[in-house]
Amino acid sequence: MNQGATPPAADHTVGRTLVLRGLRATGHVFRVPLDHADPTSADIEVFAREYSSLEHTDDEAARLPWLLFLQGGPGGRGVRTTHLSGWMKAAARDFRILMLDQRGTGLSTPADAATLASLPTPQAQADYLAHFRADSIVADAELIRRRLGSPPWTVFGQSYGGFCTLTYLSAAPAGIERALITGGLAPLSGSPDEVYRATFARVEERNREYFAWYPEDRDLVTRIARHVEDVEEYLPSGERLTARRFQMVGSFLGGNTRVHGLHYLLEDAFTRAPGGPRLSASFLEQVHGIVSRASQPLYALLHESIYCQGSASAWAAQRVLEEYPQFREDAAEPLLTGEMIYPWYFEEDPALRPLRAVADLLAEKDDWGTLYDADVLATNTIPAAAAVYRHDIYVDRNLSLATAAVVRNLQVWETDEFHHDGIADDGEAIFERLLSMTRP
């Protein structure tokens, strides 16, 4: 090395350990290739936080096996917690938990409008983002496992994390001791259109259920949709609230108990003003927090691509919506929508406007690689267990069971007790049940 040269960055650095309420939290930074298939690829950083329980001494904790948690998304950072509860409390009895900030999120090398602007063209940005799907996340995880010196570990995937777990079982099963999945059995083949036809039907069903509980909210939702067409109402970030963007508050419908929070949101939507009814500042602030993708741009950019293998999404949700006019904003009684992503998001959300060109290129991309290997899954020997939620509006039950039928050695617990975010309601019991299903 030349005198005065900057030494190469370490492949793995460990930060300081925080001791919080009943837990230790230690940060790790790993340098990984942007493109695992290209040895000359530039490096990016992936951050992970290790959690362990203070019920174990430092030495005991260091000897515990690892559990890798793959969170929902795409584009969501790892869970931040200051005390152990729910599934993490259960897991920390027997494991050290490694919580990834999947590439592009949290404290990992970011991928957002500001950082993507350093790339010269939208096509260069799209080429870069093509390395941010489940196959790359799994390659990161397997590289990290080896750097930690861990034998095969337990992988727990929630929602999109379950999709990643299926990719892991396809691509690197030797790195897994057991696989646990909640609300995340992805279709192994087919197009996004099939997914959205199923989920639009589930979301419609959930709308009907919700309005049966709160019939007064049926007229209120329509009133708000008509109001914002006639009266200019602005979100705190400065853009006008449209009816179709308001419909995004239907994200509440995917919750088990959170669904009832929708009623609390709607009940104080209007306030009296000198010129007539207006939407309250409190309501607009809350809606902004729901509909803005400022903190999670990768969700909007990559959401449809998670279903693509060898074909383009071509804005699938927008196309399939035409088959469900009851979800149109100008319907007589418009329904609330789910997690679907539409091209107009990149016009109406200020955080996404700079990304419209790259979003279109990603929607047009027709050479996405394969995410799952049905032949490998059909001969799987890794103990695996999955919770399938019967009325899940985000990951369709029928498509999930079709996948489960392909994966050898996968046990399914189908339940109508929980919705998509079940682990937020009783994560301890769900985790313990799935774990027991994979033990001899």
Could you give the C-alpha distances from 8 to 107, 295, 318, in angstroms and in order?
A: 20, 31, 46
The per-residue pLDDT for 402 is 97
* Banded pLDDT at 1 (limits 50, 70, 90): very low
The per-residue pLDDT for 379 is 98
CATH of domain 12-189+372-437: 3.40.50.1820
Q: How far apart are CA 378 and CA 93, in angstroms?
A: 32
- pLDDT greater than 50 at residue 311: yes
257-266 in b/e form (b: 16+ CB < 10 A) is ebbeebeebb
Q: How far apart are CA 415 and CA 390, in angstroms?
A: 6
Strand, helix or coil for residue 124:
helix
Q: How far apart are CA 280 and CA 414, in angstroms?
A: 41
**Is the CB of residue 324 less than 8 Å from the CB of residue 340?**
no
The per-residue pLDDT for 197 is 96
The per-residue pLDDT for 207 is 97
Catalytic-labelled residue, pool 59, 230, 367, 375: 367
The per-residue pLDDT for 257 is 86
Do the bridges between strand 176-182 and strand 384-389 make them parallel or antiparallel, or are there none, so unpaired? parallel
Catalytic-labelled residue, pool 108, 159, 251, 292: 159
pLDDT for 242-264, tens place per residue? 999 999 999 999 988 889 999 99
For the chain, percent of residues with pLDDT exceeding 90? 95
The domain segmentation of the chain, as residue ranges, is 12-189+372-437, 192-364
The per-residue pLDDT for 375 is 97
* Banded pLDDT at 424 (limits 50, 70, 90): very high
Q: Is 367 a catalytic residue?
A: yes
Do the bridges between strand 270-271 and strand 153-158 make them parallel or antiparallel, or are there none, so unpaired? unpaired
The per-residue pLDDT for 9 is 62
The per-residue pLDDT for 5 is 39
Q: Is 159 a catalytic residue?
A: yes
Amino acid at 257: T
pLDDT for 96-122, tens place per residue? 999 999 999 999 999 999 999 999 999
**Is the CB of residue 27 less than 8 Å from the CB of residue 16?**
yes
What does pLDDT average to over the chain? 95
Do the bridges between strand 96-101 and strand 43-53 make them parallel or antiparallel, or are there none, so unpaired? antiparallel
Q: How far apart are CA 235 and CA 41, in angstroms?
A: 41
pLDDT for 128-164, tens place per residue? 999 999 999 999 999 999 999 999 999 999 999 999 9
C-beta neighbour count of 184 within 10 angstroms: 27
Please compute the mean of the pLDDT values over residues 278-294 and round it to a whole number. 97
The per-residue pLDDT for 266 is 98
pTM: 0.95
Return contacts of 214-219, CB within 8 angstroms, 24+ apart: 214/263, 217/262, 217/263, 217/266, 218/333
CA 241 to mean position of chain CA atoms = 25
- pLDDT greater than 90 at residue 339: no
Could you give the C-alpha distances from 138 to 47, 154, 157, 389, 415, in angstroms and in order?
A: 14, 13, 12, 25, 28
pLDDT for 161-190, tens place per residue? 999 999 999 999 999 999 999 999 999 999
Q: What is the DSSP-derived secondary structure letter of residue 335?
A: P
pLDDT for 340-354, tens place per residue? 999 999 999 999 999
Angle between helix 122-129 and 356-364 (nearest 10): 60
- Cis-peptide, bond into residue 274, ω within 30° of zero: no
Please compute the mean of the pLDDT values over residues 281-308 and round it to a whole number. 96
